[in-house]
Amino acid sequence: MAYILNKTNGSIVATVQDATVDTTTDLSFVGRNYAGYGEIQNENFLKLLENFANSTAPLKPIEGQLWYDTAGKHLNFFNTVNWKSIPSLEISSTNPINTTTPVPGDLWYNSVEQQLSVYNGSKYVIIGPPIGADTKAGWRGDFEKEGNNPIYNTKAVIGEDVVATVSAQSYALSDLANSTYPIYSTGSKLYKGINLTGADPSTGSSESVGSYFWGTAAHALRANTSTYSNGFVTTIDSTTNGYKPVTFLTTATSLTDGTISINYGFAYNPSTNYVKATRFEGVATSALYADLAERYEADAVYDEGTVLIIGGKKEVTTTAGRANTSWAGIVSKNPAYMMNSEAGTDETHPYIALKGRVPCKVVGPISKGDLLVTSVYPGYAEVYNLDGNVDPNAVFARALEDFDGDFGVIEVKL
């Protein structure tokens, strides 16, 4: 009489006839009256004990079957379609990558920092919590309430002390019951931006508690009014060589220092956040970057170093013509002096370098000192050759370095 083998869900996996061995699965099922069945049964138990340990997967898996991959040292299960890896969890005080060979998805619980990490193929990356038990400092997500609405923000925390809160909006704090790390008392106001703990809830000023952003701008603390800066030298010489206070005016009104009427200086417009110099006198000025540029309306978005000409549907465009005499300049990377700055954005009105040193797209070869003209490749420059067919007015730049490749970017002088 045959054995009918049923899975846990009741479905039939095999029917084993008398005196036969069924190999439908990776185990061998023995039928009634089969001689020498003991070895087969014992091997079945051994395979289950070792989870079919092998460097290759079992050939006849069924749903839920386990397989230990001896090559990758990893346990897997079969989901009726594929073998899925079961991530291993290592609990230790030191990084297990130093003692084992993890695979992507393996987990490590740091018993010292009390943090969980996952292996991404090259290193363990922290899942959370973001701040370890021994770290004591970092950023934590939090929220307060404005009425019944939770407002989420981020707090800089050292231990359990909040030193600052970063908020995307301003709002009154009506309920701090659910705030893990409160920065103000109930009824205070959180301001858009960075809020230092202990700041005045009505003005946002942290001067009274001595909390500031320290650094190279620390002297800006002296400018504590909206009308003028009180940090300048007030003792002046009334002669032509005397020092004059720098005034920050909210209107065109003149200020006086007591002896000299100041009708010019730096004027601040609070509605636009611009400082305008109505008159500036000095010996010299300096700039970090190296070119003079102006915004022009372009017919497309052009990246830095692109050579443009005057033309197209807008003011500037590219050209596929060699030695075009209508050249406009090169799209600037970091203009030192920006003219027509309010004309538009970098996408609609890119800064075109008109004079100075700037990166430029080129077609090689090019030698240092070569004169450059537009090329047949739109947006690229090439060497100007005295072949009799090129207008010298097409020259717009000179190479500052050698280039032996086909296409690239080099520094040029306009």
What is the residue-wise DSSP string for 304-351? Answer: TT-EEEE-SSSSEE---STT-TTEEEEE-SS-SEEESTTS--TTTSPE
Mean pLDDT of 394-411: 94
Same domain, 363 and 298: yes
Q: Is the pLDDT of residue 185 over 70?
A: no
Mean pLDDT of 136-155: 75
Report CA Rg, the chain: 37
Same domain, 42 and 156: no
Token pair for 331: 């799209």
How far is CA 92 from each of CA 110, 118, 136, rounded to the nearest angstrom?
6, 14, 20
pLDDT at 279: 59
> β-strands 291-295, 274-277: how paired?
unpaired
Percent of the chain with pLDDT over 90: 42
Tell me 46's DSSP state. Answer: H
Same domain, 115 and 166: no
Of the candidates 385, 406, 386, 396, which has an alpha carbon nearest to the alpha carbon of residue 324?
A: 396
Show the domain range for 337. 291-413
Mean pLDDT of 244-249: 46
Residues 383, 322: Cα–Cα separation, whole Å = 10
User: Residue 298 falls within a domain, yes or no?
Assistant: yes
User: Residue 244 falls within a domain, yes or no?
Assistant: yes
pLDDT at 147: 66
User: Residue 62 falls within a domain, yes or no?
Assistant: no
Same domain, 310 and 325: yes
Q: At which of 128, 158, 180 does a domain end? A: 128
Indicate the number of domains in the chain: 5
Of the candidates 203, 151, 207, which has an alpha carbon nearest to the alpha carbon of residue 175?
A: 151
Residues 312, 92: Cα–Cα separation, whole Å = 66
Token pair for 260: 């000299």
Same domain, 273 and 314: no
Cβ atoms of 195 and 167 closer than 8 Å: yes
Token pair for 205: 């000023």
User: Residue 74 falls within a domain, yes or no?
Assistant: no
Same domain, 364 and 259: no
Q: At which of 33, 49, 65 does a domain end? A: 49
Q: Is the pLDDT of residue 341 over 90?
A: no
pLDDT in tens, 359-392: 999 998 999 999 999 999 999 999 998 666 778 8
Same domain, 405 and 321: yes
Q: Which helix (H) or strand (E) holds 47?
A: helix 37-49
User: Residue 330 falls within a domain, yes or no?
Assistant: yes
Same domain, 176 and 234: no
Same domain, 200 and 233: no
Of the candidates 234, 391, 225, which has an alpha carbon nearest to the alpha carbon of residue 322?
A: 391
If one compares 3 and 275, the residue with the highest pLDDT of the two is 3
Token pair for 109: 């619980």
User: Residue 248 falls within a domain, yes or no?
Assistant: yes
Token pair for 139: 């950023």
Residue 402 pLDDT class (50, 70, 90 cuts)? very high
Q: Classify residue 308 as exposed, middle or buried by CB count within 10 Å of its CB (0-12, 13-18, 19+).
A: buried
| Residue 287 C-alpha from the chain's centroid | 28
Same domain, 295 and 278: no
Q: Classify residue 319 as exposed, middle or buried by CB count within 10 Å of its CB (0-12, 13-18, 19+).
A: buried
Residues 352, 296: Cα–Cα separation, whole Å = 7
User: Residue 33 falls within a domain, yes or no?
Assistant: yes
Same domain, 198 and 296: no
Same domain, 242 and 274: yes
Residues 285, 102: Cα–Cα separation, whole Å = 58
Cβ atoms of 269 and 250 closer than 8 Å: yes
User: Residue 153 falls within a domain, yes or no?
Assistant: yes
Q: Which helix (H) or strand (E) holds 151?
A: strand 149-158
- Give the three-state DSSP class for 210: coil
Token pair for 98: 């130093």
The residue written with tokens 């036969």 in the block is 20
Residues 154, 54: Cα–Cα separation, whole Å = 49
pLDDT in tens, 190-235: 788 888 877 776 676 777 777 777 765 544 444 444 444 433 434 4
- Give the three-state DSSP class for 168: coil
Residues 289, 401: Cα–Cα separation, whole Å = 18
pLDDT at 115: 86
